[in-house]
Structure formats: structure tokens, C-alpha cells
Chains A and B, each alone.
Chain A
Amino acid sequence: MTKKVLLIEDEPHIVEALSFLLRRESWQVEIHNDGIGAVNKVSELTPDLVILDVMLPNIGGMEILHDIRQNQQTAQTPVLMLTAKGQQKDRKAAEDAGASLFMTKPFSNQEIIASIRELVA
């Protein structure tokens, strides 16, 4: 069965590269590019995985993650956090907020695909 991935990211060229990679793996890709409405999108689409950027317009990724984990319907959804901040404290904050995995930009295509495979397996 085709896995559904929701990509919440505001950088259009990153979205384009990532969605190409995901579709190449035959996954269904949904895209949302703003902090506003992101949590509703997760509830509505019930994806197998959410790829969530930390720095989003209007509402930050950490806040969205917090809300995803608070919502009974979405609490168990695997979330891969993407960020340009790779400091230990950011990693810890993401883990504390309930991220399934934390990856820093720039990521390698092979690494992110391998991680996604594990998360949706």
C-alpha cells in the first residue's frame, strides 16, 4: 500500500527536491508551506509520516510538533524534524517535544530516504 508523507516546508526548492525524491520511492506526497493550518492538515490527511521544518512562517515547527503530540488523533504520527540549527540544545528540544527523528540541513538524499523508510516501515 502506498505510504503517504506530508511535507511541511516553506522553501519551494527544498520542497521540489524532496518531493521528487519521495515520489521516486513511490510514496504519495502532500505539501503544506505555512505554520498556520499545519496541525489541521495532519489531522485531515492522517499521513504515515510528517516531515516538518523547524523554521516556518507564522508558527514555528516546534510549536506545531507540540500540538501534533497533544492531539489524540495525531499523537502517534511519526514526525521527522528538519532544521538548519544542529546544536545539541535544538536536538534535545526536538526530542523533548516528541520528534521521532531530527535531521539537520543540508542532509544527504540517501540518508533522509533511509530514515524515512525506517519511520514508515
Chain B
Amino acid sequence: MESVHLGTQGTLWAWTIQGFAPKSPPYLGPVADGQFEPYGVGYVVLPGELKVEARLTIADPKELQEGMAMRLTTVPLQTDEAGDRVVTFAFEPMETVNA
């Protein structure tokens, strides 16, 4: 196995919104009533490389559109027992959708 650095920008290929709290574990984010917030999930095409599955920063169907330009960021999951902030990778739109 060899590590490869992938690009950080691409286009949205397919998406959904996770509308219910996943089982925890394994999910590290908040799941309690009133704490869970729906989040976007999608595949982003990284040109010349692959499509990568990731969290999206947007959870509103009206603000997501296939083909829109996306860039890499992070989203918070939890603060662990040592007090460290646990984050995961995510993609955010580089422009807003013209409805």
C-alpha cells in the first residue's frame, strides 16, 4: 500500500441528505434527540483521479446541484475525552446555486 495525495477541488457527481441519526458507534457525531442535525453526503469527482465519497457542508436539497464546483474542508464531529476536537473531511460548494 502506498499513500497518494489527491486534489482538493472537484465537482459534485451525486448526493443525498442523511436525515436520521446513524447508529453510534460507529458514528462519532451527536445523535441524541435535539442534537442530531441532518448532513449532506455525496461523491465528488476529482479530475484525473477518482470520485471520493464525503460529507458535504450543505444539508438543504435546494442548495445542492450535480456538477457544482466543490472544495475540501472539514466538519466537526465531537470533542473527545482528552479535550481534542475530532473532525472529518468534507466538501463545500465554491458558489451558491441560482434557484
Determine if chain A interacts with chain B. no
Chain B positions within 8 Å of A, measured between CB atoms, are none
